[in-house]
């Protein structure tokens, strides 16, 4: 009953058909609010609806049927001049999960649009690996130098032994000389390998982009 009275105080919140209140409807409701033959709840309902600009049809129909035939007007006369009132449905509330997902999709769309907008201005990111930047490369290069030095020592040792006889000192000197030559060769190769920087380095990309924009 309390919920019904709340709906009567605010007809726009009531469910069902809503009609506009006319002079004949307000007159009937005012008279019904003081009709002792009418039930108490219907009298309270009539008093509440008499001051409203819209009236739920179901409530008006209950009051009309509850009134005596000698005091109530005909239903067609009562509803004459009244119009239907259509109310907009309450917007459906979105769940927190749906709102969070929509926010993420909106951020992703904005980020994609921004990247598309600046793709002609910002150069693409390219990965540039410096020589011997990884532990595997350093270890491989170290093993290569050790093998080259050992090979140079053996070659120098064998060459001096074949040329100068069985002198252990001269053979060892030849091995050391071969070791030093192998180190020099590896150093030269390292310098050449490090100096050949790929043309796709970040500095070259920035320079090319700057010249293109000019």
Residues 10-13: contacts with CB within 8 Å, 24+ apart? 11/49, 11/52, 11/54, 11/55, 11/56, 12/54, 12/87
Does any domain span residue 83?
Answer: no
Measured between alpha carbons, how far is 158 from 151 in angstroms, rounded to an integer? Answer: 11
Does any domain span residue 146?
Answer: yes
- My answer on whether 143 and 191 are in the same domain is yes
Measured between alpha carbons, how far is 131 from 126 in angstroms, rounded to an integer? Answer: 16
- Three-class SS of residue 92? coil
Does any domain span residue 206?
Answer: no
- My answer on whether 49 and 7 are in the same domain is yes
Task: Give the pTM.
Answer: 0.38
pLDDT digit string (tens) for 86-131? Answer: 777 677 777 788 888 888 999 999 988 888 888 777 655 555 555 5
Q: Average the pLDDT over 4-27 and give the result.
A: 68
- My answer on whether 113 and 149 are in the same domain is no
Domain hosting residue 99, numbered range? 93-124
Q: How many domains does the chain have?
A: 3
- My answer on whether 23 and 65 are in the same domain is yes
Does any domain span residue 159?
Answer: yes
Model pLDDT, residue 126? 53
pLDDT digit string (tens) for 132-160? Answer: 566 677 777 778 788 888 888 888 888 88
Does any domain span residue 109?
Answer: yes
- Run of H or E residues at 18: strand 18-20
- My answer on whether 51 and 9 are in the same domain is yes
Please name which of 2, 73, 5, 18 lies closest in space to residue 44, comparing C-alpha atoms. Answer: 5
């Amino acid at each position: 009953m309390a919920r019904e009275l709340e709906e009567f105080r605010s007809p726009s919140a009531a469910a069902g058909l809503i009609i506009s209140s006319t002079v004949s409807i307000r007159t009937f409701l005012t008279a019904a609010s003081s009709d002792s033959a009418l039930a108490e709840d219907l009298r309270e309902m009539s008093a509440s609806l008499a001051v409203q600009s819209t009236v739920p049809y179901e409530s008006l129909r209950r009051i009309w049927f509850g009134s005596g035939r000698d005091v109530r007007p005909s239903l067609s006369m009562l509803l004459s001049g009244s119009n239907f009132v259509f109310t907009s449905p309450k917007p459906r509330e979105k769940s927190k999960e749906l709102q969070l997902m929509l926010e993420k999709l909106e951020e992703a769309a904005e980020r994609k649009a921004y990247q598309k907008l600046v793709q002609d201005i910002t150069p693409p990111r390219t990965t540039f690996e410096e020589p011997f930047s990884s532990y595997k490369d350093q270890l491989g290069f170290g093993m290569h130098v050790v093998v080259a030095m050992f090979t140079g020592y053996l070659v120098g040792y064998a060459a001096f032994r074949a040329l100068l006889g069985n002198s252990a000192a001269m053979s060892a000197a030849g091995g050391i000389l071969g070791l030093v030559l192998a180190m020099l060769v590896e150093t030269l190769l390292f310098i050449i390998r490090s100096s050949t920087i790929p043309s796709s380095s970040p500095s070259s990309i920035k320079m090319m982009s700057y010249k293109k924009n000019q």
